[in-house]
Amino acid sequence: MRGKGRVTSLFVLFGEFLDGKGTGFVGQYSDQQIDEILEELKRLDAAPPSQAIPVELPKARSWRRELLSWIGAVLSTFLVVFVLFGLVFRFVLVDGSSMEPTLSEGDRLIMYCLDNSPESGDVVILSDETGLGIPLIKRVIAAGGQTLDISPEGRVTVDGEPLYEPYAVEQMRDSGDYDYPLTIPEGQLFVMGDNRNHSTDSRSPEVGLVDEKEVLGKAVFRLFPFGRMGPVS
């Protein structure tokens, strides 16, 4: 601020040499006035310049420090990926045609592993403890406490309401070895493949009702093929 004031004073003093029209001369002033002006100029000239503000430059980081920083970032990234795709999400490959037309053989899916309460309509992956000795992917039709009914014509109702099934493209020919209506016990699931006439599922005694503990996770997203990429529903 002092340097700025100094510049302003010089312009004011210079203006003293000029008249209102800017045509005046030093000769218009008395010797005393000129001496006072010169003394003021000397005083301003002797004033110390404005103090500079010190700036501290950041110290250069050593290559070892930089390397350790990069290694830490890479390890953190791997840890996040491991947690997400080892504990929260997993990749699943569809094998077979029992979920046609919703899912086809060779589809690659992302399974969400933390959904412990599957509901009617969810597409779930079951462990190899279901009776067939292999993992299965099926759709939950009814969960524990719900009442399921399948008519001789293959129409499905849950709790008295017709089940909306746009994925079922064929009329079901086999309703299974149950006396309907069937109330599903708590903690168990009734599952079927969308390709009803080409699916081994809860209608078969080989699979039967599935314990919720056998559910590995819920299929939530199809990654491949790219032309059909999107949420699984």
Residues 161-183: tens digit of each pLDDT: 999 999 888 889 989 889 999 99
Q: What confidence tens digit (pLDDT) does each residue in 187-225 have?
A: 999 999 999 999 999 999 999 999 999 999 999 999 999
Is the pLDDT at 28 greater than 80, yes or no?
no
| pTM of the predicted structure, to 2 decimals | 0.66
Active site residues: 98, 138
| pLDDT band, very low/low/confident/very high, at 12 (cuts 50, 70, 90) | very low
Mean pLDDT of all residues in 127-132: 87
The answer to whether the beta carbons of residues 219 and 194 sit under 8 Å apart is no
Q: Which residues have CB under 8 Å from 105's CB, separation 6+?
A: 94, 95, 96, 97
Measured CA distances, 227 to 107, 123, 222, 224, 230 (Å): 11, 20, 10, 8, 9
Q: For the beta carbon of residue 199, count every other beta carbon within 10 angstroms.
A: 24
**Of how many residues is the chain composed?**
233
Distance (Å, rounded) from C-alpha 93 to C-alpha 188?
25
